[in-house]
C-alpha cells in the first residue's frame, strides 16, 4: 500500500469510529507522527494534504523544521518527554506541546517566549499508569499543574494528553482521561482538547472523546531504526 492509500485507509477508520460514537469526524485533528522518518516524508504528507505532524524528540524536531522549511498551514506538534534545557528549542520549533507534565517545564517554556511571538498551545500530559517513570503528571496533581500553568501568559492551556497503559485495555484508561479533562475544565473552562489515540487504540480514544489523535505507523508504515 502506498502512503496515500494508508492515509486514506486510516482516515476512513477515523470517520467510522467517529460516526459509531455519534461524533462528527470534522471535530477531530489527525496528527501524523513522523518520528524516525526523514523530513522528506513530511514533504510527501504535506503534498497529500496533511497539515499536522508530530515529533517526540527535540533535536529531530528542530532539524526537520529547518529541512522542511516554510509550509503554509503546517503545524508541528511536540509529543515527547521534554527537558527544561530544551525549552527554547522546542518553543522555536513547535506550535503545540502535548507533553507539559511539571511546573518547572511550564516555567522554562514561558521563560523561552520571544517578544511578539504567538502564545504556545500546551496540553497537560497525564500519567495513566502506576509507573512514575512514564511521562505525565500524576492524576491527583493535574489541577495544581493547571493552576500554575494558567498563570503564565505566554502559554495557553488547551487540554489533556495521555498514552494508554500497556497493561490494561485502553477504554477504561481513556475514560479516566475524560474525567481528568472535566477536572481540568474546572480550572480552565475552554481547555477542551483531549490528545489520545495512537495506531493501536485510536478508535477507543475517539469513543472516549479524544479530539487530537497521534497516529504514526498505521500511516507511515514501520519506523526505521532510531537514527
Ligand X SMILES: *Cc1c(COP(=O)(O)O)cnc(C)c1O
State the DSSP code for 43.
H
For ligand X, the binding residue among 198, 205, 207, 208 (CB under 6 A) is: 198
How big is the CA angle at 157 (ends 99 and 81), to the nearest 5 degrees? 10
CA–CA distance, 37 with 102 (Å, rounded to integer): 29
Q: Which of residues 119-138 bind ligand X (CB under 6 A)?
A: none
Q: Is 216 in the site for ligand X (CB under 6 A)?
A: yes
Q: Report the nearest approach of ligand X to the CB of residue 198 (Å).
A: 4
Closest CA to 79 of 102, 111, 105, 53: 53
For ligand X, the closer CB: 86 or 214:
214
Q: Is 42 in the site for ligand X (CB under 6 A)?
A: no
Q: How far is CA 171 from the centre of its chain?
A: 19
CA–CA distance, 122 with 159 (Å, rounded to integer): 7
Residue nearest to ligand X (CB): 216
Stretches 5-13, 102-110, 148-156, 195-203: which one binds ligand X (CB under 6 A)? Answer: 195-203
Read off φ and ψ for residue 176, nearest 5 degrees.
Answer: -65, -40
Contact pattern for ligand X over residues 75 through 94, marking x by CB under 6 A: ----xx--------------
Q: Report the nearest approach of ligand X to the CB of residue 40 (Å).
A: 18
For ligand X, the binding residue among 7, 10, 17, 35 (CB under 6 A) is: 35
Q: Is 62 in the site for ligand X (CB under 6 A)?
A: no
CA–CA distance, 90 with 88 (Å, rounded to integer): 5
Would you say 123 and 148 are in contact if contact means Cβ atoms under 8 Å apart? Answer: no
Would you say 215 and 202 are in contact if contact means Cβ atoms under 8 Å apart? Answer: yes
Q: Report the nearest approach of ligand X to the CB of residue 223 (Å).
A: 7
Q: Is 215 in the site for ligand X (CB under 6 A)?
A: yes
CA–CA distance, 177 with 218 (Å, rounded to integer): 23
Q: Is 159 in the site for ligand X (CB under 6 A)?
A: no
Q: Which of residues 161-190 bind ligand X (CB under 6 A)?
A: 163
Q: Is 210 in the site for ligand X (CB under 6 A)?
A: no
Q: How many CA atoms lie within 13 A of 185 on its CB side?
A: 13
- Sequence length of the chain is 227
For ligand X, the binding residue among 7, 18, 32, 33 (CB under 6 A) is: 33
Stretches 108-116, 136-144, 183-191, 215-223: which one binds ligand X (CB under 6 A)? Answer: 215-223
The footprint of ligand X (CB under 6 A) covers 33, 35, 56, 79-80, 163, 198-200, 214-218
Amino acid at each position: 500500500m502506498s502512503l496515500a492509500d494508508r492515509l486514506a485507509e486510516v482516515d476512513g477508520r477515523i470517520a467510522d469510529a467517529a460516526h459509531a460514537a455519534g461524533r462528527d469526524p470534522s471535530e477531530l485533528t489527525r496528527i501524523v507522527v513522523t518520528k524516525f522518518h526523514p523530513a522528506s516524508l513530511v514533504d510527501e504528507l504535506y503534498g497529500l494534504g496533511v497539515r499536522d505532524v508530530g515529533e517526540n524528540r527535540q533535536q529531530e524536531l528542530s532539524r526537520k523544521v529547518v529541512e522542511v522549511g516554510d509550509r503554509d498551514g503546517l503545524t508541528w506538534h511536540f509529543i515527547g518527554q521534554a527537558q527544561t534545557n530544551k525549552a527554547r528549542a522546542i518553543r522555536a520549533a513547535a506550535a503545540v506541546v502535548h507533553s507539559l507534565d511539571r511546573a518547572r517545564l511550564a516555567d522554562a517554556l514561558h521563560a523561552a517566549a520571544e517578544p511578539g511571538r504567538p502564545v504556545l498551545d500546551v496540553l497537560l500530559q497525564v500519567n495513566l499508569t502506576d509507573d512514575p517513570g512514564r511521562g505525565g503528571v500524576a492524576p491527583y496533581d493535574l489541577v495544581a499543574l493547571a493552576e500554575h500553568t494558567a498563570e503564565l501568559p505566554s502559554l495557553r492551556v488547551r487540554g489533556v494528553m495521555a498514552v494508554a497503559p500497556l497493561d490494561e485495555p485502553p477504554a477504561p484508561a481513556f475514560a479516566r482521561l475524560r474525567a481528568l479533562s472535566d477536572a481540568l475544565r474546572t480550572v480552565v473552562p475552554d481547555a477542551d482538547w483531549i490528545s489520545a489515540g495512537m495506531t493501536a487504540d485510536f478508535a477507543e480514544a475517539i469513543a472516549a472523546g479524544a479530539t487530537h489523535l497521534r497516529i504514526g505507523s498505521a500511516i507511515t508504515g514501520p519506523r526505521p531504526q532510531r537514527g
